[in-house]
């Protein structure tokens, strides 16, 4: 699995696992990962959350809740980031000598994720960063999640956009053909 590929003993592996975790569990888009700042991370109640600037938005006005079991991964990156002495406002920064400390570009994020797909043996080229978001949403639906929850997870403005995911899942998991009896 892609989540098993980053090396948890290296700074890049710790960072990359945090990125992939946010995509796979919170359905974050590449552009949302790119735009995240350190101060977009917060708490509401006793939950770790991210304030996300979504596609087409000018400010971080949507909330993504980090699953409790995944908080340790995000915290590990924060500890590593501090250890490295990072002062950038960007949550995810480059660790390469050429652009060290700079905000990760969307291209770099895509290359990181596709590299881990290749490491995991997924080489058909159809898997992208968006595949992690798609998997998060469809996994929620397959687990019995409803339209409103899927819409909140995906941060879709219109439920019509989210309905496409539900239709896709239900077409295979709960096909109407199974309900026909003569």
151 Rama class: left (phi>0) / alpha (psi -120 to 50) / beta: alpha
Torsion of CA 84, 85, 89, 92, to 10 degrees: 0
Question: Among 47, 55, 68, 83, which one carries the catalytic annotation?
Answer: 55
Say how far apart CA 71 and CA 50 lie, in whole Å: 11
The SS3 assignment for 17 reads helix
Does 100 qualify as catalytic in the annotation?
no
Does 34 qualify as catalytic in the annotation?
no
Contact by Cβ (8 Å): 77, 13: no
Does 68 qualify as catalytic in the annotation?
no
Does 156 qualify as catalytic in the annotation?
yes
What Rg, from alpha-carbon coordinates, does the chain have?
A: 18
Does 130 qualify as catalytic in the annotation?
yes
Question: Among 15, 29, 34, 127, which one carries the catalytic annotation?
Answer: 29
Question: Among 25, 116, 117, 165, which one carries the catalytic annotation?
Answer: 165
Question: Among 116, 133, 140, 155, which one carries the catalytic annotation?
Answer: 133
Does 83 qualify as catalytic in the annotation?
no
Question: Among 57, 75, 130, 134, which one carries the catalytic annotation?
Answer: 130
Catalytic residue ranges? 29, 55, 130, 133, 156, 165
């Amino acid at each position: 699995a892609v989540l098993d590929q980053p090396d948890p003993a290296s700074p890049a592996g710790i960072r990359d696992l945090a990125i992939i975790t946010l995509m796979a569990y919170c359905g974050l888009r590449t552009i949302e990962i790119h735009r995240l700042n350190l101060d977009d991370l917060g708490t509401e109640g006793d939950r770790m959350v991210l304030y996300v600037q979504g596609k087409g938005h000018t400010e971080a006005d949507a909330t993504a809740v980090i699953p409790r079991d995944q908080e340790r991964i995000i915290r590990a990156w924060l500890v590593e980031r501090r250890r490295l002495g990072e002062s950038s406002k960007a949550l995810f920064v480059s660790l390469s000598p050429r652009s060290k400390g700079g905000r990760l570009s969307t291209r770099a994020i895509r290359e990181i994720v596709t590299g881990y797909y290749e490491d995991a043996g997924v080489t058909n080229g159809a898997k992208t960063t968006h595949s992690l978001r798609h998997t998060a949403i469809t996994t929620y639906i397959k687990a019995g999640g409803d339209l409103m929850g899927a819409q909140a997870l995906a941060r879709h403005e219109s439920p019509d956009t989210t309905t496409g995911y539900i239709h896709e899942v239900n077409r295979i998991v709960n096909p109407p053909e199974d309900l026909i009896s003569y």
